[in-house]
Structure 1
Amino acid sequence: MLRINNLVKTFDGERRRRRDSKTPSAQEARVFAVNDVSFTVENGQLFTLLGPSGCGKTTTLRSIAGLERPDSGSIEVADRVLFSADEGQKQVNVPANERGLGMVFQSYAIWPHMSVFDNVAFPLQVRKRGERLGRKEISERVMRVLETMELGHLAERQATKLSGGQQQRLALARALVIEPPLLLLDEPLSNLDAKLRESLRYELKRVQRELGITSVYVTHDQVEALALSNAIAVMRNGSVVQLGRPRDIYENPNCRFVAEFIGTSNFLTGNVVAKDGDRYTVNTIDGRLALDSAMTLPLGTDVIVSVRPEAVEVSTTSRAGEVPNEWKGTVLTRAYLGDSLDHVVGVGKHELRTRGNPSTSIEPGTEVYLRMDPAKLVLVPVD
């Protein structure tokens, strides 16, 4: 289990002078890369830190690894304190090479002069003398991990003669061979082409689940995060803005940033005009929408309705009176995506994207009707 409590990490920023002072402000001279981040990763979970560049996810990972020293907070792995800088407590900062964690970098970082076998065996061979395994046990453990990663038949090959996907699996095997209590992965698939990245995504998920190894994964790829994770922390400006299961975060974003960053959404601004239990009625510039939400908002509250493209049904026939949330519009453009087809429909001052079966293709200029299921619309507070 990993526990992160109130982690803070700052860096020197641009030193600016206040208008009323000749010296720079101490606050202005520091930039918060990680700002009071807390979360827990349960045993066997694959936990993903997701967010855009500069949001603090890699700094958080490097702090766990011991490659960055936070300003304050604590890091605990398997009931062992690796870092603590809280006031009134003993200061702890275990060096990176003594934390016993596995890490896979974006750049693979394999040793080009070694064979596949020697790359994986190296972390075991350089252990302290009292912790070092025998030659036979090292060989057995290395081959067991290589077979798991489907690299056993390449054990004697030079590492530089592997393909990109094989090199990434080699880097993963080297991290796993020490049987770490925690595996850290820093955008390990970002250097691969799209097809190989998708293939290794499922390979990584299979290995992680089979071994039951607790893992923290850093990525800016929301599809990757949704496919791999047991839990996701979405980060922005050094802080965690939402934490939860992939489905919950996708279907119930708690703010516009999360809804925009994870997947594609249409955003409709409006005002709450009625409420009956969990059923809200929101008045927008182009019509009313009925939707279900567990949020508690008074009448008159300004809100944003997030509508995923796949939650919008498009049809050339009307069912007015039979179903709620039917709007009339005109197809502006369409895009064939292979496994789906998008239509962009103009409705008053809005342009709404829909996503459906590729067998349904409607020509631009056609008058259509959009229907939105109240259970699939999400109420988002105005920031």
Structure 2
Amino acid sequence: MLRVENLVKSFDGERRRRRAAATGATDRVFAVNDVSFTVHEGDMFTLLGPSGCGKTTTLRSIAGLERPDSGIIEVGGQALFRSLEGQRVLSVSANERGLGMVFQSYAIWPHMSVFDNVAFPLQVRKRGQRPGKREIAERVGRVLATMELDALAGRQATKLSGGQQQRLALARALVIEPPLLLLDEPLSNLDAKLRESLRYELKRLQRELGITSVYVTHDQTEALVLSSSVAVMRDGNIIQLGKPREIYQKPNSRFVAEFIGTSNFIPAKVEARDGERYSVATADGSLALNSTADLAVGTDVIVSIRPEAVDVSAVSRTGEIPNEWKGTVVTRAFLGEAVDHVVRVGEFEIRARGNPSVSIRPGTDVFVQLDPDKLSLVPVD
């Protein structure tokens, strides 16, 4: 449905402006550096990363609001941008691409009613492409009903709540029936409770309507909840691309493990390998684990494990499982839906997250068990 291939977008660096006259240097800052991905029809594809990683520039390039240096952007097999060496540059203007876009700011027209806000994109189309008044009314009514805003069609847009305004912005993007919907952090201006509610509402709508979407966010939870696939970006590059569960459970780098959720990191060295079965040496003993990483014996690595994958027990299970360390609870924290225990094991402190009904007093000796299938092996950055 959407194909982005070898996309590059750069900007002039700060140093260039200071020394260009003297040296003619051409320092460049690559906001997007050779990015490629494919979004299949009906998928919700998320670009996730910290501020300045290039995710919004990528989205704006797809929308036609930024002109890339080079690469290919295609939607439904139709080229929207193509710039290859030795070929003439093709760049379809943003208003000719027919894509829906929802911004971080709702960009609602305050002098218009809810109905008129949604109808406006249809009313301003070229004469030959503009639907008739009856069709406009039907399409607007249908999308407002989907967004549960039909009872508010005559209300001034500025008199809606934040959540209603966000749904209005989404309705306005959907009414043109775009082949691709682009969403640039659309929930970031909402309070936490409303944001959580609208995540599930947006996911329901996306699945029911089968909308192919590209979503930009720095919110890890949002990405995990909404996405069919996630691309984690850093410094203009895609660091890891995969399903949300894969990204969370099997990060391919310390950056991904740290950015998405909370992880324990244990320095280690590969001491033995048999296919995907590894044995790694740590300061407090060996760990057995399974990994698809291709790492040679002797390689310095980091073992990563999520707190909820760490089991803490008062009873040893030596012989039943391969990885067990003895430790002492240092502290605990009640989180409502869970309890975190920090356990000191030798020179390491390991965080474990478990059922809130289990709370172990600091100073208690315990056994920490680490499932080999829940350990991730990543190279040292």
**The TM-score by the shorter chain falls in which range?**
over 0.9
Q: Which residue of 1 aligns with 2:353?
A: 355
SS at the partner of 1:15?
A: helix
Code of the aligned partner of 2:143: V
Q: Which residue of 2 aligns with 1:58?
A: 56
- Output the CA distance in 2 between the equivalents of 1:164 and 1:200: 11
Query: Offset of 1:275 from its aligned partner?
Result: 2.3
Q: Which residue of 2 aligns with 1:205?
A: 203
Any residues of structure 2 matched to 1:1-383 within 5 Å, and which? 1-15=1-15, 22-23=22-23, 25-26=25-26, 29-383=27-381
- Output the CA distance in 1 between the equivalents of 2:294 and 2:2: 33
Deviations 1:121-161 (CA, angstroms, capped at 9, x unpaired): 00000000000111011000001000000101000010000
- Output the CA distance in 2 between the equivalents of 1:93 and 1:382: 41
Contact 2:8 2:68 in 1 (8 A): yes
- Output the CA distance in 2 between the equivalents of 1:169 and 1:371: 46
Query: Offset of 1:89 from its aligned partner?
Result: 2.1
Contact 1:50 1:225 in 2 (8 A): yes
Contact 2:114 2:168 in 1 (8 A): yes
Code of the aligned partner of 1:13: G
- Output the CA distance in 1 between the equivalents of 2:245 and 2:171: 30
Code of the aligned partner of 2:31: A
- Output the CA distance in 2 between the equivalents of 1:18 and 1:30: 13
Code of the aligned partner of 1:272: V
- Output the CA distance in 1 between the equivalents of 2:146 and 2:319: 58
- Output the CA distance in 2 between the equivalents of 1:18 and 1:325: 57
* Sequence identity (%): 76
Runs of 5+ consecutive residues of structure 2 not aligned to the other structure: none
Range that drifts further, 114-123 or 279-288: 279-288
Query: Offset of 1:90 from its aligned partner?
Result: 2.6
SS at the partner of 1:129?
A: coil
Deviations 1:246-270 (CA, angstroms, capped at 9, x unpaired): 1111111111111111111111111
Contact 2:293 2:378 in 1 (8 A): no
Code of the aligned partner of 1:23: T
RMSD value over aligned CA atoms?
1.5
Runs of 5+ consecutive residues of structure 1 not aligned to the other structure: none
- Output the CA distance in 2 between the equivalents of 1:301 and 1:241: 21
Q: TM-score, normalised by structure 2?
A: 0.97
Number of aligned residues: 380
